[in-house]
Structure 1
């Protein structure tokens, strides 16, 4: 019986999640990670916690240097992009180009595979980068801890989207990882919610969940499922939605 046939969270899953969702220098046994499949996805929220802590530390340095709030916001965005290899931003841009640039599911998937960026992707990236920077700047002017909860929750909601929607194509990162079980998705969400509550980012739970549902519903209607790009877009939209809810409700 392989690890794909049983579900039990393991600490090594955190390293696998970080290897997938960031460019942090973590050591992973590739054959073991492949055998684990989607069982490691529960750790996406833990990876978000770690990435959020790094970004919060960068924001603290900016605050110590008495930078303007908008500059601190851009510092958070830039730090996250650097540490993650901007993979979620890439997914957002590809998803926007594909979902709104094609007329059929096949065309949309083909556009999403194209490494070139179109007008939808450009406008979306500029809008989300500016919005996130402005919101993070405003947030850190009030409290820095919710940054961690937002980043954990926005990555946690990717897992139920993976479990809910089938893979829209047979190849790609999402298809390679596989579909997590309901137990895996539940644990990912539970950890994300706990981190959000502890850090004072409780409204992020509702904002991230609503965004994940919206992106998933659009992807299901337009391409019949999810891809790695869709998951990246899910994280980005969830992060922005969580930010808005945290600032509006706290």
Structure 2
């Protein structure tokens, strides 16, 4: 940027917007309490740490891979807690299913981008693509898992009826799995469809600001969007299958 941002002013505005979000939610008695302000405070601390860490790891592929592994673990823990607050204490199989699903979706997106040569391998591209995909598939896991578990509870009688007739768990839950995957993927697909018109993609803007040509930035953003579609589809369907196999 040509003009450095005013740190105290930025922090004050961020806190003010977060407090306003809390007030708006409280006016409708939405049970999120102080989560908006907690989220922005955590984000600020983590971004500060990230800025320090990136100065040392961005040139070493092993450190970048280690950082991506950490991101995947934290993402899986976050999604597991959102789906079931007691998952890490009483149901670690849920966390393992999410960890596996995120890892599979992320690996597919990254391998397709770099193994084909569509994106020249570099630590900065690996970190950017991996980080964006991980964040998105984490949200997809949360939506898939929560909706599927809710639907299985509501329609428990139907599922038990199919099981009593000799159907396997995947067959008994197939329509709920399909609906959950669809629900989880729609926001990302809508975002991709409106890229450049409604949404201004971060990877594109960041690349342009970093000095890349608009064409190269657009191509990288396109790879990111395709990776999100592939990674999201694999993550959502894998998690849905894993949760279905746990149905008894």
Check whether TM > 0.5.
no
Task: Give the alignment's TM-score, normalised by structure 1.
Answer: 0.28
Task: Give the alignment's TM-score, normalised by structure 2.
Answer: 0.28
Q: Which has the larger radius of gyration?
A: 2
